[in-house]
Amino acid sequence: MRRPDELTRAFRAQGLKITPQRQLLFTLLHDNETHPTAEALYTVAHAQMPGISRRTVYQTLTDLVSMGELSSLAVGGGATRFDPNTAAHHHALCDECGALLDIYVDDLQFRAQGLEGFAASGATIVFNGRCATCVPNDLPNNPVINNKEHQQ
Amino acid sequence: MRRPDELTRAFRAQGLKITPQRQLLFTLLHDNETHPTAEALYTVAHAQMPGISRRTVYQTLTDLVSMGELSSLAVGGGATRFDPNTAAHHHALCDECGALLDIYVDDLQFRAQGLEGFAASGATIVFNGRCATCVPNDLPNNPVINNKEHQQ
DNA sequence: GTGCGAATCTGCAAACCGTGCGAACTAGCC
DNA sequence: GGCTAGTTCGCACGGTTTGCAGATTCGCAC
Ligand SMILES: [Mn+2]
Ligand SMILES: [Mn+2]
Ligand SMILES: [Zn+2]
Ligand SMILES: [Zn+2]
């Protein structure tokens, strides 16, 4: 997602208006790495702008997603989470606290059975386990999966 | 997921009762490769046993998941889908029709940035794109559509 | 086969997440 | 300042899932 001032220009260029509600959400989302839900954003937004409506938060998020400024993630079965990081990346979901971390995967190689005839346009990878703050400190990390080279 | 008769034994071994509702769901799920939702299972179950309740379908699915006989998949943001295939595998989700196909991935190798300190216990991969029946049929070697007599 | 008790089933209410809609409001423009 | 299209708001509603309590039934003991 671009900076608030760039988004402002982009919105106006499309004939969309700039409202205080939208500006607030731009700033709340910019560089936000928590992958917040709509409700989490509403809570923070509402603290700063008591009149804002949940409906507006949902609407603005939908707009940003359809403009490609934001992506929406359906992980873990709860509410949709939103991601202003538009670089190609994957995620790690902590089973315990629900934290969602950005993971950058390179040099991916594999053999797949079952993809014959399927016109794949991409793939999403979600690692699961425990994040650093949820791993008990006396237990060593898994030496195989938690290293540079991985095998499934 | 094991066969209905094996599940029957497993349930009784745990002090759980065998009811007609559970037996029906066992057979509906066994070898079911469609990754059905609870509602889809209810529809089929209800056709065969009109008195069955949605609540019982949800309850039985939850029980099977906690017994490790079934896994639940949250993909695409809609209703949870259930998978009796307990072998380690991944999925491909058709953007168009929602079909979910089993994909077996081998020899997976990659480098990841961001996993440092994360105690990963596994990863799920979801390919997205179009399944074979949803891919437009105007591909190079379709003998009918690509025949000159059928071209404009 | 009867009876008992615990497990299960059912139906409904309610929680949760998100969307549709229409009335009220406002940003951007003259 | 006024106009108007775009936006916001509040509420109702749809889809999915869970909580609950009363009715029912399975499995067992007699
Ligand atoms: Mn991310
Ligand atoms: Mn599967
Ligand atoms: Zn954590
Ligand atoms: Zn398809």
**CATH of segment(s) A4-73:** 1.10.10.10
Any residues with CB less than 8 A from the CB of A94 and at least 6 apart, and which? A100, A101, A128, A129, A130, A131, A134, B118
Helix, coil or strand: residue B134: coil
CA A119–ligand 4 middle distance (angstroms):
10
User: Between A123, A145, A148, which is nearest B127 by CB?
Assistant: A123
Residues of B with CB under 8 A from a CB of A: 72, 74-77, 80, 88, 92, 94-95, 101-132, 135
Q: What is the pLDDT of residue A141?
A: 56
- The pTM assigned to this predicted structure is 0.89
Predicted confidence (pLDDT) per residue in B68-78, tens digit: 999 999 998 89
Which strand (E) or helix (H) includes residue A128?
Answer: strand A119-130
* Class at the top of the CATH hierarchy for domain A87-152: alpha beta
With CA atoms as reference, the chain B residue closest to A74 would be B77
Chain C positions with an atom below 7 A of a protein C-beta are 7-12, 16-21, 26-29
Q: What is the pLDDT along chain A (152 residues), one digit of tens a residue?
A: 999 999 999 999 999 999 999 999 999 999 999 999 999 999 999 999 999 999 999 999 999 999 999 999 999 889 999 999 999 999 999 999 999 999 999 999 999 999 999 999 999 999 999 999 998 765 555 544 444 444 43
CB atoms within 10 A of CB B47: 9
Query: Cβ of residue B58 near strand D, that is under 7 Å?
Result: yes
Instruction: Please provide residue B3's backbone torsions phi and psi, each rounded to the nearest 5 degrees.
Output: -70, 155
With CA atoms as reference, the chain A residue closest to B81 would be A77
Q: Which residues of A touch B128 (CB under 8 A)?
A: 120-124
Domain boundaries, chain B: 4-73, 87-152
